[in-house]
């Protein structure tokens, strides 16, 4: 069976569109709202949706997503509960779903069990920000065998040799971090992103997505010229934090605006 991520990018390529990929932290403010948020974002035009798995030491995340992680952990969100939530989402939504998780929760869950349960629930891909390519082989092999895409992160500081190794193992798409540092909305988007996306495109035919620091539809439109997909996290998570009661409708509106800009 073909992976939903591949199907999505193939369709967009045919129509010449760029993908919009929103990120939310699963379980923020609670898992029932996560289901509603995913349904609303899919209906509003999100092409792929990233769900963050909360972890007690989120080293790659900025203050907005760290706060969301803490809120989610306080309500008892676990990887097991998130996979149950994905099953619920799959009853009504066909949008490709990607989990973003640190390696520790996956290891605690057990690699083979995680891969099997994630695929059975309806997860299409996984991003593991603290898993270097040199140590990724066990998860990469298990994921590839099950049809789950292990999506790598690359940064402006990634060397050419590492880029080749990462591209050789990558599936789904390659996530370009537009800045060195943690996630978070920025006033300006890094203009060096074009150099990084060109380097990635020289070693891989996979779609290239850009994230970290994109916070407005205008910025997304600028970034989209250099890549196949734009990822937005902190700007959306901030809306959920500030108005959890009306977050579903507000986030849907944001997704519409971002998608329209692309």
The 10s digit of each residue's pLDDT in 43-101 is 999 999 999 999 988 777 889 999 999 999 999 999 999 999 999 999 999 999 999 99
Peptide bond just before 41 cis, omega within 30 deg: no
Question: Mean of the pLDDT values across residues 149-165?
Answer: 96
Taking only the tens place, the pLDDT of each residue in 238-259 is 999 999 999 999 999 999 999 9
From the list 61, 143, 60, 135, the residue with the least C-alpha distance to 98 is: 143
Per-residue pLDDT band for 39 (boundaries 50, 70, 90) equals very high
Q: Which residues are catalytic?
A: 50, 61
Partners of 210 in the beta sheet? 176, 230
Per-residue pLDDT band for 181 (boundaries 50, 70, 90) equals very low
Query: Please, what are the domains in the chain?
Result: 4-261 (3.20.20.70)
- Contact yes or no for 151/133 (Cβ under 8 A): no
Please determine, for residue 29, whether its predicted confidence score (pLDDT) is greater than 90.
yes
Per-residue pLDDT band for 191 (boundaries 50, 70, 90) equals low
Please determine, for residue 4, whether its predicted confidence score (pLDDT) is greater than 80.
yes
pLDDT for residue 234: 94
């Amino acid at each position: 069976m073909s992976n939903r991520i591949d199907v999505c990018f193939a369709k967009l390529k045919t129509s010449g569109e760029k993908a919009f990929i929103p990120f939310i932290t699963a379980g923020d403010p609670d898992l029932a709202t996560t289901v509603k948020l995913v349904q609303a974002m899919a209906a509003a035009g999100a092409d792929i949706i990233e769900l963050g798995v909360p972890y007690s030491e989120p080293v790659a995340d900025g203050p907005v997503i760290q706060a969301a992680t803490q809120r989610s952990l306080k309500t008892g969100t676990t990887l097991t509960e998130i996979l149950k939530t994905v099953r619920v989402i799959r009853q009504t939504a066909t949008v490709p779903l990607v989990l973003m998780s640190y390696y520790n929760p996956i290891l605690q869950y057990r690699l083979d069990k995680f891969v099997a349960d994630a695929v059975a629930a309806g997860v299409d891909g996984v991003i593991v920000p603290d898993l270097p390519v040199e140590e990724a082989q066990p998860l990469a092999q298990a994921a590839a065998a099950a049809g789950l895409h292990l999506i790598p992160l690359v940064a402006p500081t990634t060397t050419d040799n590492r880029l080749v190794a990462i591209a050789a193992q990558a599936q789904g798409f390659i996530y370009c971090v537009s800045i060195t540092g943690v996630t978070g909305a920025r006033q300006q988007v890094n203009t060096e992103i074009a150099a990084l996306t060109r380097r990635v495109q020289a070693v891989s035919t996979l779609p290239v997505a850009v994230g970290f620091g994109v916070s407005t539809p205008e910025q997304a439109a600028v970034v989209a010229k250099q890549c196949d997909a734009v990822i937005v996290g902190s700007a959306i998570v901030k809306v959920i934090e500030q108005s959890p009661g009306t977050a579903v409708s507000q986030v849907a509106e944001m997704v519409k605006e971002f998608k329209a800009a692309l």
